[in-house]
Amino acid sequence: MSFSPPKLAIGSALLRTGLADNRFHVTDYMGDGAYPGHRAEKDEAEHYVAAVADAIGRREAIDLAAELRHYLRAMFPPDELQTVEGDPGLLARQVGFAALQRALDEALYELEERSFTAPTPTDPVFARCPSLFDRVTKDGLVRLQVGDVRDEALRGEGVFAVDGSAIYPHPMLAPARELVVELLELASAAELDVAVAIHPFRVTSVDEVPMRLLEDYWYGVRINADNLDSLDPHDIGVRTFHAARQGTIERFFHPLLGTWFDWERRSRHDSDDPVKRLYVREVRPATDRSGEPLVAALNRELHAERDTAAHCFTHVDGKICWYDAAQYAPTLAQPDAQLGTAARSRKLWRVDGSMTDSTWELLVGLHFRQNELIQEHLDAALRR
């Protein structure tokens, strides 16, 4: 008997997370850890992966790894794929997470396709807020009322509230957040009739609305005093990107597209290793301020290590990286495109030994002078 990995149900916790965050990947739940606040997602992931691994162990899914080879290559670095070749258990776990990511992608795509159909009373949003369906127009929009949009903070997130439930814009409308916010503002003035398409499958309590007013400028893990020394997998292993605000005097004199921050556990296999690593990669444009192409983009980068048991940084080094402009993907329109590999680099300095947070922060700030995104990322963690 052959095994087919199951589809995700509409009530899946992972699917809800995927609907809320289009940058979410299931490998966020691959490590050990308590995952406080995300236990349902972690349990669902482990249950799914265990079912796949069990089928592989019973030789009911012998072709699954080959079927998912593109997912495996995209999700895991080459060295990790090579490491597990001699470990059937770890290999089955990787295949299980690849199967889960494919199931999530397919479920999200299916919901996106279904969102083009006319609203029905059985859609999750209307099942939870039946009175809302009475406001559906002939063209499938929902008329807004003043009471829906009283909360200024929710309006700023492009969300309105009905009977304590948060209602989200249609997945095809959500990317135009400034437009959504303006429509909600118009509805709050009660001078115009405003109707919008809503997400038929996404509905939460008001308390669960992710406050992402600066989502256009940054995404990823928020570092603060509570998780600075956390090795919980939900606090590490997720790339964080801050995009630089353009059109400022600072950008004229110091062009910058954004900055990547990657917090990782030093050892993914030794659970007793208390060291946490930080990689910071600046993203500068490969054009001058007039838009003319340069030969290369010169980006400052930094690596640091923090002993989470001793609550201090123990290493930091800085370097400059030369990226060939012909192979360089980041642009003003897509600042978070992958950097690729630097054609050459030169380490400029390093410090080893237990440092106070203030000493470490000073070194980092001086290395990245004129990059305000560094402080934006670290401020909440180091202001205790």
Asked if the model's pLDDT at residue 224 lies above 90, the reply is no
Asked if the model's pLDDT at residue 103 lies above 90, the reply is yes
Position with higher pLDDT, 86 vs 204: 204
Closest CA to 226 of 299, 297, 330, 311: 311
Closest CA to 10 of 161, 94, 123, 129: 123
Name the token pair of 172: 């095809």
Least confident segment among 47-61, 210-224, 248-262: 210-224
Average confidence (pLDDT) over 17-44 = 83
Asked if the model's pLDDT at residue 60 lies above 50, the reply is yes
Asked if the model's pLDDT at residue 270 lies above 80, the reply is no
Asked if the model's pLDDT at residue 380 lies above 70, the reply is no
What Cα–Cα distance (Å) separates residue 93 from each residue in 69, 96, 155, 264?
14, 5, 42, 20
pLDDT, position 85: 74
Average confidence (pLDDT) over 237-242 = 72
Asked if the model's pLDDT at residue 132 lies above 60, the reply is yes
Q: How far is CA 265 from the centre of its chain?
A: 18
Percent of all residues in the chain with a pLDDT value above 90, rounded to a whole number: 36
Query: Distance between the two ends of the chain, CA-based, in angstroms?
Result: 58
pLDDT, position 370: 84
Name the token pair of 76: 């895991």
- Give pTM, 2 decimals: 0.58
pLDDT, position 21: 72
Structure-token match 């659970």, residue found: 271
Confidence grade of residue 213 (pLDDT, cut at 50, 70, 90): very low
Average confidence (pLDDT) over 204-232 = 65
Q: Where is mean pLDDT largest: 171-185, 201-215, 308-322? A: 308-322
Handedness of CA 235, 282, 284, 338 (dihedral sign): negative
Handedness of CA 189, 192, 193, 199 (dihedral sign): negative
Handedness of CA 267, 271, 275, 277 (dihedral sign): positive
Domain boundaries, the chain: 13-114, 124-208, 218-382
CB atoms within 10 A of CB 24: 18
Q: What is the mean pLDDT of the chain?
A: 85
pLDDT, position 214: 42
Average confidence (pLDDT) over 108-113 = 87
pLDDT, position 102: 94
Q: How far is CA 264 from the centre of its chain?
A: 15
